[in-house]
Amino acid sequence: MLNIAHRGASGYAPENTKASFDLGIKMGADYLEFDVQRSRDGVLVVIHDTNVERTTDGSGEVRDRKAAELLKLDAGSWFSPEFKGERILTFSQVLDRYNGKAGMLIELKSPSLYPGIEQQTAAELAKYPLADKVVQSFEQESMKNMHRILPDVKIGVLMKFRPLGISSAMLRDISEYAHFLNPSKKLVSRALVQKIHALGMKTTPYTVRNREAVSFLKKMEVDGMITDYPDYINEIR
């Protein structure tokens, strides 16, 4: 059961910061999940929203701000005064700091906003061992492209809730290039997990925020969970 810390231990510390990632590792996470976008001047940065308002003291779109401006923002005070001064990290900083300490589940956030981000991500990743790295996105064309560019890195496809579920044809198409299908936990059933496994993929649903979800997903025999609370997963391992 893979324990994947969602933006770090983001139930306890401000998401996508050193504080959150460090705590995720301390709590025994196997992987750190985080989001990658690009600054106006072409630097890959780690932040979830396409604008900075929710998680920093700044304003504006990530893609409209230079990296030097983004890295000066306070990315911790919104969560709690004790985290004042936490900063947005660059992708390079995260790779340097956490390579070898935990695996990485790297989400390309809205990659269609950033033409060429797959090539840029691949160039950064190629400097490191790839066995414990996974790149994922909701945008399937981006992940097909990522697979072509860097075939040695594992690919994940994120799937939002769909009232009609995921068709067998869609699952087969995804299995041609992806190693993981990571759906909303609301989509998960034993039958879906079995179909994913039959196609040679694994599944680590998102986002687990309570122990009831942990218990349910364990019964569904998923391969891991993406969670704000890594300690919850360790309780059942």
Residues carrying an active site annotation:
6, 48
Q: Are 166 and 159 in contact (CB under 8 A)?
A: yes
List the Cα angle 63/13/207 in 5-degree steps.
Answer: 75
Dig out the tokens for 179 from the structure. 């190693």
CA 7 to chain centre: 7
Neighbours of 103 (CB within 10 A): 20
Question: What are the tokens at 188?
Answer: 């998960």
Q: How far apart are CA 95 and CA 115, in angstroms?
A: 22
